[in-house]
Amino acid sequence: MKTNIEYLVREPKIKKEKNPLLLLLHGYGSNEEDLFSFAGELPEDYFVVSARAPYDLQPYGHTWYAITFDADQNKFSDDNQAIESRDLIANFIDQLVSELPIDPENVTLIGFSQGTILSYSVALSYPEKIKRVVALSGYLNEGILASGYESKDLSHLKMYISHGTQDQVIPVEWARKAPETLKRLGIDVVFKEYPMGHGVSPQNFHDLKNWLENN
């Protein structure tokens, strides 16, 4: 099934019969060029694909699902849209595997913020499609996971999670809940905190790259 996702591709510099895939999922209000800016720094044997979220924001940018605020500035996520995007990403992975010489057993999601929330959801709902997750500055929203996900085989999954201790967009306390839940599911988890806000520091990037190369 062909999706309508727009995306950028960096071909692997080291070509194999089937190469691993790194799929980049950006945050709220951003686009496919954001995370793709560090594609050149990622391991050379990967296809690096950066996807654009399906919903347009005004005046610019894109989102995987709507976030609304009430009069008291309480924030609400549209979980139905998030579930649609979860399934769209799963179909998009199938599309990439059919169109490019990608190893379907070696797919890694790298998400930032809202892209991380979706990465968790795709990996736990469709674990047969995913090998690793790099979860940057996000949290685990159990409301957008497929029903019965706990009974799926999650034992092969590996996750690198990082968060800034000064993050004012997504509190670090939210991020800290994910490793506990994931370890209970038998998933191999590395969790790191950095003295930064809502972003990726050079040390954070260095550490996640090392993790990718060794996992």
SS3 letters across the chain = CCCCCCEEEECCCCCCCCEEEEEEECCCCECHHHHHCCHHHCCCCCEEEEECCCEECCCCCEECCCEEECCCCCEEECHHHHHHHHHHHHHHHHHHHHHCCEEEEEEEEEEECHHHHHHHHHHHHCHHHCCEEEEECCCCCHHHCCCCHHHCCCCCCEEEEEEECCCCCCCHHHHHHHHHHHHHCCCEEEEEEECCCCCCCHHHHHHHHHHHHHC
Residue range of the domain that includes 83: 7-214
> Scanning the structure block, which residue is given the tokens 């999706």?
3
> Scanning the structure block, which residue is given the tokens 């960096």?
10
In a domain, 83, yes or no: yes
- pLDDT attached to residue 19: 96
What's the first-to-final CA gap in the chain, in angstroms? 30
In a domain, 2, yes or no: no
In a domain, 171, yes or no: yes
In a domain, 190, yes or no: yes
In a domain, 185, yes or no: yes
In a domain, 84, yes or no: yes
In a domain, 1, yes or no: no
Whichever domain contains 166, its CATH number is 3.40.50.1820
Amino acid found at 138: G
Query: What confidence tens digit (pLDDT) does each residue in 165-206 have?
Result: 999 999 999 999 999 999 999 999 999 999 999 999 999 999
Tens place of pLDDT per residue across the chain (215 aa): 677 999 999 999 988 999 999 999 999 999 999 999 888 899 999 999 999 999 998 888 999 998 776 565 566 788 999 999 999 999 999 999 999 999 999 999 999 999 999 999 999 999 999 999 999 999 999 999 999 999 999 999 999 999 999 999 999 999 999 999 999 999 999 999 999 999 999 999 999 999 999 99
The Cα–Cα gap between 28 and 183 comes to 27
In a domain, 14, yes or no: yes
Per the structure, the count of domains in the chain is 1
